Amino acid sequence: MATFSLTIAAGCLALGVWQLRRLDQRRDFNTVLARRLSIAPSPLSALPTDTANARYRRVSLNGTYDYANEFVLTSRTRMGSPGVNIVTPVRLPATDTAVLVNRGWVYAPDGMTVDLAKWRENDSMTGIGYVATYPMPRQGNAASESRPRAYRWLDRSILSNRTSYPLAPYYVVLAADTTPVPRDIPMSTPPRLPAPMLDEGPHRGYAFQWFSFAAISIVGTYLFLRRK
């Protein structure tokens, strides 16, 4: 009994320490994120070649929207409402490479279907955003089986097959301070996505829970043996 309880307590203590390490990692990440988001925007051409060092850096970009190859990311919520994110390739000047740009969120009752034509901005664009990296490969199919312009997540290898030009190894999330090129007719601009949250996550609370379980196990074993 005592050996089993102490083993449980040791395991809980180890998990608590692990959560504290995760908390330290999250704080380190927040420090890097805050620093990169505070730096003045730089041109895309000035980004570090290493995508890890380029991640979350603010950039300014200009180019031409390729609406023929735009698509949506499905099941994206905003304040509890279902919707999609609109992602449009931007053809960059003086290069054959394009960069995918997340233009923002729009409401979709089923979290998948939206009339993209209603959300077209200028053909030419000038904007400010931050760099994001493609997620790691995962199980399953990123593309929707029923909707050709709908994806569950960004998969660069699959998306590259949609276009006749190469895609940059990162994508850009437009910020709220994007300045569109003026034009005479009205346009509908999707609400831009907010910057990543600078929070510490649940790690502190999880660590407290594991340490509490360890304390309960130790105290409970002591009381049991004393009574016995």
Instruction: Tell which wins on pLDDT, 52 or 125.
Output: 125
First and final CA of the chain: distance in angstroms?
12
pLDDT of residue 181: 47
- DSSP one-letter string for 5-73: HHHHHHHHHHHHHHHHHHHHHHHHHHHHHHHHHHSPPEEGGGS-SSHHHHTT-EEEEEEEE-GGG-EEE
Q: Kindly tell me if the per-residue pLDDT of 134 is higher than 50.
A: yes
Residue 51, pLDDT score:
82
The tens digit of pLDDT for each residue in 65-78 reads 999 999 999 999 98
Sign of the dihedral defined by the CA atoms of residues 86, 87, 88, 91, in that order: positive
179 has a pLDDT exceeding 50: no
Which helix (H) or strand (E) segment holds residue 190: the answer is: none
Specify the higher pLDDT residue, 31 or 220.
31
Average predicted confidence (pLDDT) for the chain: 84
Query: How far apart are alpha carbons 101 and 88 in whole angstroms?
Result: 5
Least-confidence region, from 37-46, 101-110, 198-207: 198-207
Are the CB atoms for 206 and 192 separated by under 8 Å? no
Bridge partners for 172 per DSSP: 101, 131
Mean pLDDT, rounded, for 135-146: 82
List the single range of 77-86, 131-140, 181-190 with lowest mean pLDDT.
Answer: 181-190
What is the rounded average pLDDT of the residues 149-178? 87
Q: What is the mean pLDDT of residues 30-35?
A: 79
Residue with the bigger pLDDT between 49 and 226: it is 49
pLDDT at 168: 92
Q: Is the pLDDT of residue 127 over 80?
A: yes
* Positions of E strands within 92-201: 98-107, 124-133, 150-151, 167-174
Question: Helix, strand, or coil here: 160?
Answer: helix
User: What's the pLDDT score for residue 178?
Assistant: 46
pLDDT surpasses 70 at 184:
no
Q: Which residue has the higher pLDDT, 86 or 42?
A: 86
8 Å CB contact between 32 and 26: no
Who's near 36: CB < 8 A, 6+ residues apart?
A: 55, 56, 57, 58, 130
Give the per-residue pLDDT at 85: 96
> How far does Cα 5 stand from its chain's mean position?
41
